[in-house]
Amino acid sequence: MDVSTLPLFQLQSVKQSLEDEIKLLSGSFGTLKTAQAKFNTSFDSLSTINKENTKKQSLIPLTGSLYVKGKLDNIETVIVDIGTGYYVEKSIKDAKEFYKGKVEYLSKNIEQLQETLIGKQKQYQILMDVMQQKVEQMQNEKK
């Protein structure tokens, strides 16, 4: 649609709609980046599970900010949160593959979302330019 043909009051409506979309997309982008960081952290933490750490007192992560004292007894398998409150036991190798797959999946979605967000921001800038031109044109007509 050619926005330059729309009256100023309709442009205001389109502007508000684009602002809402950009805000929603930006929020989603942040959420996906946070999830990606958590999966990366989980992936990285798997590399600390080795024979040298068996039976040693250490801090075991329960969440990103909650650790408890404990000892690693089993270094062959880990419990993996697969989402919506479900946990499964996986080998270290399978857990790494799971987290790697999640990170790759999120990376693709983040890329697509970023392209969409950039497109919306460009549309918004074009709209703002058209609105500025219309306001200037109206001011010139009043003179």
In a domain, residue 99? The reply is: yes
Q: What is the pLDDT of residue 99?
A: 96
* C-alpha pair distances (Å), 83 with each of 61, 73, 139: 17, 25, 57
116 lies in some domain = yes
Domain assignment of residue 9, yes or no:
no
Tokens of 50: 């080795």
120-136 pLDDT, tens digit per residue, is 999 999 999 999 999 99
Q: pLDDT tens, 70-88?
A: 888 888 999 999 989 899 9
Q: Considering the domain boundaries, does residue 12 fall inside one?
A: no
| Domain membership of residue 110 as a residue range | 21-135
CATH value at residue 100 = 1.10.287.370
Look at residue 5 and tell me if it is in a domain.
no
pTM for this prediction: 0.79
Residue 64 to residue 105: CA distance in whole angstroms: 21
